[in-house]
Amino acid sequence: MTNNIETLTVALGVRSYPIHIGHNVLTDTQKILKPHISGGRVAILTDETVAKLHLQTLQKGLGDREVVTIILKPGENTKSFAVLQNVLDKLLQANFSREDTLIAFGGGVIGDLTGFVASVLKRGCQFIQIPTTLLAQVDSSVGGKTAINTPAGKNLVGSFYQPKCVLIDTNILSTLDPRQMRAGYAEVLKYALINDKDFFGWLEENASKLLRLDQAALRTAILSSCTAKANIVKRDEYEHGERALLNLGHSFAHALEAKAGYDGTLLHGEAVSAGLLMAFEYSQDLGCCSGQDVKRVRQHLSANGMPVLCDLATPVRNDPDALFAFMGRDKKNTGDDMKLILARGIGRAFVEPSVGHASILGYLKKVCSSKALAK
Ligand code: GLY
């Protein structure tokens, strides 16, 4: 195996799997993936953008085995019932079996959709994640969350279904546009804000290098992020407790995305960037978090060109009642209780099982007011 590859394990007993991280590993896929692809056929699910740039390299890397390729439209709209049905029909028409392997080759949208397809096709076939965006490399490809979106909200239909392997090529990010890099960086920052203040300090020093695609900085950030995620997932695979921390900023983010309408104008990571600051601000309002830490988070986002609420399009940010309604439909909630991830400071996130409805609506009204948004 190429010696620049580092391997982490997501330790889940019989469902354990490796995350291989390296530079230019896509050209060596055959060798790396061999232990994870049993004799059968392979279907690559990807989108038009990734296909144009990298599909040939992956196909070449897979050698002369039979490969079915399904190329989908880029964007959140692909995570829909209609596309799910279409992909399942194609695979069933090709008589895909449980011995065959799906490869998710793309960002979070392709990874989430492919994982969901794999979990329901003939009651479950194996799949491999080859994430091509920073966001997918540090978050969505690891941990087995699969989903599609519905008009009621994001990721509300899905399953927990682990891949057989995750293969991360840091070099593939060289073709990613800066907007997508910043969107992915929000998820890197999330790990630091949850439970790793030292990592936050490192990011304050190195985020700009990483966003400029410095390979050493990227490798460190991806390794730290995947290690953090693997550690949480192995302790709480099905999100009965601690895994909910990985949703820091996400209840706000999912509401913003639902309001934006999944039309590509607001990327998931952009919403997470705004949502992280909202989670810290709201924690400060509740008296849990110091203003100093909130300021440090705000400054870090601003120094790295990361979007916050007032940078988003007016219709997305000026309707607190609509945002509140979307937050009420979040998967984490039970009954009337609205569960939220809050912070006692940088690196000190915690799960608040029941946030007062009036208090959260009050916060949203405050930050969505024309005065706040004019700042
Ligand atoms: N992205 C959050 C999780 O995987 O739990």
**Is 145 a catalytic site residue?**
yes
Residue 2, pLDDT score: 46
- 145-150 vs 153-160, strand pairing mode: antiparallel
What is the token pair recorded at 304?
Answer: 């790295």
Q: Please choose, from the candidates 191, 312, 293, the residue with its C-alpha nearest in 3D space to the C-alpha of residue 252.
A: 312
**Per-residue pLDDT at 1 exceeds 50:** no
Give the side-chain half-sphere CA count within 13 A for 12.
24
Q: How far is the CA of 27 from the centre of ligand 1 (A)?
A: 29
Whose Cα sits closest to atom 3 in ligand 1?
A: 246
Could you say which of 36, 182, 243, 259 is catalytic?
243
Could you write out the three-class secondary structure of the chain? CCCCCEEEEECCHHHCEEEEEECCHHHHHHHHHHHHCCCCCEEEEEEHHHHHHHHHHHHHHCCCCCEEEEEECCCHHHCCHHHHHHHHHHHHHCCCCCCCEEEEEECHHHHHHHHHHHHHHHHCCEEEEEECCHHHHHHHCCCCEEEEEECCEEEEEEEECCCCEEEEEHHHHHHCCHHHHHHHHHHHHHHHHHHCHHHHHHHHHHHHHHHCCCHHHHHHHHHHHHHHHHHHHHHCCCCCCHHHHHHCCHHHHHHHHHHHCCCCCCCHHHHHHHHHHHHHHHHHHCCCCCHHHHHHHHHHHHHCCCCCHHHCCHHHHCCHHHHHHHHHCCCCCECCEEEEEEECCCCCEEEEEEECHHHHHHHHHHHCCHHHHHC
pLDDT band at 375 (very low <50, low <70, confident <90, very high): low
Query: Ligand 1 pocket check: which of 243, 248, 331, 332 to mutate, most ligand atoms within 8 Å of Cβ?
Result: 243
Radius of gyration, CA atoms only, the chain: 20
The answer to whether residue 23 is catalytic is no
Confidence label for 261 from pLDDT (cuts 50, 70 and 90):
confident
pLDDT tens digits along 333-352: 677 778 999 999 999 999 99
What pLDDT band is residue 29 in, cutting at 50, 70 and 90? confident
The question of whether 15 is a catalytic residue gets the answer: no
**Rounded-to-integer distance, Cα 128 and Cα 148, Å:** 18
Q: Are 116 and 148 in contact (CB under 8 A)?
A: yes
Contact in structure between 21 and 53 (CB atoms under 8 Å): no
Rounded mean pLDDT of 162-175?
96
Of residues 37 and 218, more confidently modeled: 218
Q: Are 116 and 108 in contact (CB under 8 A)?
A: no
User: β-pairing, 126-131 with 165-169?
Assistant: parallel
For residue 237, the CA-to-ligand 1 centroid distance in Å is 10
Domain with CATH 3.40.50.1970 in the chain: 6-175
Residue tagged active-site, from 20, 36, 219, 239? 239
Q: Which has the closest alpha carbon to 188: 159, 212, 211?
A: 211
Q: Is 36 a catalytic residue?
A: no
The active-site residue, picked from 36, 54, 79, 145, is 145
243 is catalytic: yes
CATH 3.40.50.1970 fits domain 6-175: yes
pLDDT average, residue stretch 61-71: 89
Count other Cβ atoms within 10 Å, centred on residue 263. 9
Quote the pTM value: 0.94
Mean pLDDT along residues 103-132: 97
Ligand 1 interacting residues, C-beta cut-off 6 A: 139, 143, 145, 243, 246-247
Residue (of 369, 211, 365, 226) closest to 303 by Cα position: 211
Pocket test for ligand 1, best of 116, 229, 257 (most atoms within 8 A of CB): 229
Q: Name the average pLDDT for the chain.
A: 93
The number of beta carbons lying within 10 Å of the beta carbon of residue 269 is 29
Atom of ligand 1 nearest to the CA of 145: 4
123 a catalytic residue: yes
Residues of the chain within CATH 1.20.1090.10 domain(s) are 178-373
What does the alpha-carbon distance between residue 291 and residue 277 come to, in Å, rounded to a whole number? 12
Contacts with 247 (C-beta within 8 Å, 6 or more apart), sequence order: 332, 341
Could you tell me which CATH number the domain at 178-373 has? Answer: 1.20.1090.10
Mean pLDDT of the region 164-191: 96
pLDDT band at 210 (very low <50, low <70, confident <90, very high): very high
Amino acid at 30: Q
